[in-house]
Structure 1
Amino acid sequence: MYAYAVTRADRLTSIGSPVLDHTGSIVGALAVFAPTFRVPDDRVVKFAEMTRDAADELSVSMGYERGSQKSTSTWVARLSR
């Protein structure tokens, strides 16, 4: 499984996860935004995991192969540039 990002501010919380294609390239993202008061601290990880899982399902529908070393190394290399 791959990553998610969480940003929490006074008024807005955003949670996002990359969407990958059949080559493992990042082709988009799935994100959720909500007022921070609607996302309690104890629920952030659960919402992030749900976002990540939904992005993973979308990636698989685009040909991404779960657990593919090529796919994982492709997006990690791009994030580290």
Structure 2
Amino acid sequence: MRLSGLQKEVLGLYRQCLRECRKKPQATRQHFQVFARSEFDKNIKVDKRDFAAIEFLLRKGRRQLEIYSSPGVKDIR
């Protein structure tokens, strides 16, 4: 099955989130993984043809990733 450009971007963002989780302390790594998964699950029902919503969520996700990937952030709840 071939993926559209937006689908590739969403998967890429998810992979990037998981990579950043591995940089966090071992004790809190699970919290970051659960948070990332829950954020993607919240929006799983968005219609794949709703490009405006998907692009908005991608921008929001990238901003969140930038904040949470900061070395000063040790835990998330």
TM-score (structure 2 length as normaliser): 0.40
Does 1 or 2 have the higher relative contact order (CA < 8 Å, sep 6+)? Answer: 2
- Structure with the higher fraction of residues in strand conformation: 1
TM-score (structure 1 length as normaliser): 0.38
- Structure with the higher fraction of residues in helix conformation: 2
